A and B are shown apart, each in its own frame.
Chain A
Amino acid sequence: MDLNIVWFVLIAVLYTGFFVLEGFDFGVGILLPFLGKTDTERRSIINTIGPHWDGNEVWLVTAGGATFAAFPHWYATLFSGFYLPLFLLLMALILRGVSFEFRSKDDNPTWRATWDWAIFTGSLVASILLGVAFANLLRGVPIDASMRYTGGFFNLLNPYALIAGVATVLVFILHGALFLSKKTTGVLVERAQQTARRTWLPALIALITLLIGTLIDTDLLQHRGVWGSLVVILPLAAILLTGYFIRRQRDGWAFVMTCLTVAFTVTAFFVALFPRVMVSSSDPAWSLTIYNAASGPYTLNIMVIVALIFTPFVLVYQGWSYWVFRKRVGNNPKTLTY
């Protein structure tokens, strides 16, 4: 396996980690105003992801940095090309990030309502935009021979990308609801379970629509052939099993299955993309690939060494932090961390 492939896989792993982890905390953020009826309930909901959301987001920051280091042309074309969606994504992430820290530091109800709104909006907007952006990478966008994005903002708002945005939101809501069902207590558990039951079917439909859209609107079938295209079965199987476990009231297993749904969707995406990183709709030959967009072998080599040494540590201590906070978050305002 050459270094370029190694780096493609590593970046795919980083995005998979990001979507699986931040996926449920985006879902929790979107559900916050609906599941939390009282201030204490909302605080409990936030505290389920309080210690983790920032670490989850670092997966995205690292993916961005790794893209810059390993595939600078991908980084340059993507970030300057998808300018406005990325700008909106940054705004959403900024608002959402500070809100977790700020919302409880003042008693004023308007203050709290404002930051709660920011958590909801930030989580929702970020989820949609990420779905839209990734779908466009695969579907193809206008890119010229010198790797420059020649489209505009509205090129990105095609039906396929919008379906991806909606599917991302619905799957994250399901994912977040199942996370909450395992991490809260009392009435919140019931509400989370109910939400999971109600969201499952819409999420399933959206995901099926997305997968069918992928077969129609991208070059997956020609590019990977019929057998290769079967990769789309994986997320489908996982979300069907999610439904099975929800019905059996096995929330933990259902959550494992939404983790797999997200992970398999991202995997299918990268399988369909490989060896390209951004498909050009102007001319397939102008697509950015892991070869024409890459750094030199020396840089790739060094970064592989760095990644192989440090990634295991990250997995261990981040895993440990989930273990430290493995207990359900209570609903006694006296023992909640504010």
Chain B
Amino acid sequence: MLTGSIAALFALLLAVLAVLVPLILIASRAESARRLAVALILIASFAGCVVAVSSFLRQPGPVLDLSRATPFPFSFAVDRLSAFFLLLVCSVAIPVTLFGASYFDLHYSEQRRNWTWAFLSLFLSSMIAVVTASTGFAFLAGWELMALVSAGLILIEGDSTERRHNVFIYLLMMHVGAAAVAACFFLFLPYSHGLDFRAIRAAGAIVPPGIRTAVFLFAFAGFGAKAGLIPLHLWLPRAHPIAPSPVSALMSGIMLKTAVYGFVRFAFDFLGGGPWWSGYAVLLVAAVTGLLGILYAIAENDLKRLLAYSSVENLGIIFLGLGTSLVFLAHHAPLGAALALVAALLHAFNHALFKSLLFLGAGAISNSTHSVDLNELGGLQRRMPLTGAAILVGCCSIAGLPLFNGFVSEWLTFRSFLAGSTLIDTKAQIVLPLMVGILALIGGLTAACFVKTFGVAFLGRPRSAGAEDAREVPLGMRAGLCLLAAGCVLIGIVPGLLLRPLVPLAQVLITGAGVPSETLSIARITPWTAAIVLGTSALVVLFKRRERMARTWACGLPELSSRMQYTSTVFSKPIRFVFARVYRPDRKVEQVPADQPYFPVSISYRSVRTTSYERALYRPFVDLIVSLALRLRRLQTGNIQVYLLYIFLALVSLLTFLRFQR
């Protein structure tokens, strides 16, 4: 009975998001229609949370079979892994929708607003479809829809040449990735009855090792492209910043997680672990991704690009956990594998919360100041205190500080590295504990990056007129921000809420795993540490003190100006200097007039990070494709006789082929 109603609810929410809401918005331009649509999206997202929680508790979850209505086997089912990601999608969708409801109203004309909401609803339904699909076709359809709709959402914002170029790169890389994902499915075909997930899972045990390796590599490349793992990250810092902020929040917060879902589905659920070196390969790529991601993020001054690069870094951390889990699996240590997998999945959830919080925060900032350039912000905390507090929570969470959710998942990842020292294998014993150093460096740099972000944007003096006149954002935006911030703090202090369901999920994916004791101990200790820190702080605050406003000493000048403050550029200078080999900056100093070096009228200075290795990696491919295309162009002469010749030749060759085939 209950399962039936949950299945009905699930079918209903997919129908509402994918069909009803877009139809309403296309049919009617009325204000009330849009209100109705937004309310429907909110209700559907909430229903999605209900479906996720109830099907997590009661397995098997709801199944929705549309195979009769479609030419392909097309069905959805919510098993535990799907339920977890469904919860992730829907619980982040609620605050983002709340935020968007007031954000789009302020920024978009009526027509664009309707299109945006229609696409947003489709985008959500495509992501739900991806994480709940139970056949290859359903998965690939959702996967394709997701890429196309998000590209549409970026183009609604505007269509300059540069934007089109970025969207082109985005779509190109998404389709290369989608091809790899499709290849993963089709490689299973000779060994399974169809592309039903159950059949694939059964086939996973019997495929020959060569095919297993191929499937693993294709899955890693295909989902890695979606996750933005370096060197396949090229599209991410181009596509995410140019989308409207709520859409960036969805893309960074949720869409990247569908790649994590896909990789876990293939590598753990279908294959049950890759070849012995797979874990090390994932660790290597993830470590490079994490380090370069955060180093690029630190050097950015555009808030949204900074956040996009930091998404690259966080996906690196998630894949560090997944790689560790694969290493443990290869050495038949299910307990450690479960611990690392729990860490990775929890970090995926945490990243969804704090990254969408920060992207929404960027939206709030651009709403109030009309800029996301950190060097034009400053002093916003006094002008928009609630937004500032929420973003501070996001910054603390992403920096992995205790009392916030990012810490819990990073701590679990650290502990899974440490547990690597108990493996019998020498490689693992050395590599895994050393990864602690890599993650610690990433963590330290992340803290530096977000001190810069919050400190420069929200503290000190305003650096532009826009920041000077900033006002607090409307209620809907604040509600979205505060919901997400509350989630970050809640998971940070009571991580047991998510860890308790995550452990059985890991046990489903990794046979023979017990309960990792680390997941219990972190859940026990965090409330105590929170109590000590907050208790001492409260005691100190109660201590009465007298205060007086006094201007900061200006070294004898009449008054400090905002130009004397450290900017975002100069804050990151020491780190950019130390890691200059990574950035390979291209500096240019121009003096006017050039022939009078001692009496310049103006001096301009520019320093751009060169992307030398990106060029070295991609240029040969691009050149090859372009030269092939140029050569093929010779076929198109425009002469009708030549085309007739082509047709004739094709006909003759087909006939010959048919004649000799039998």
- Are the chains A and B members of one assembly? no
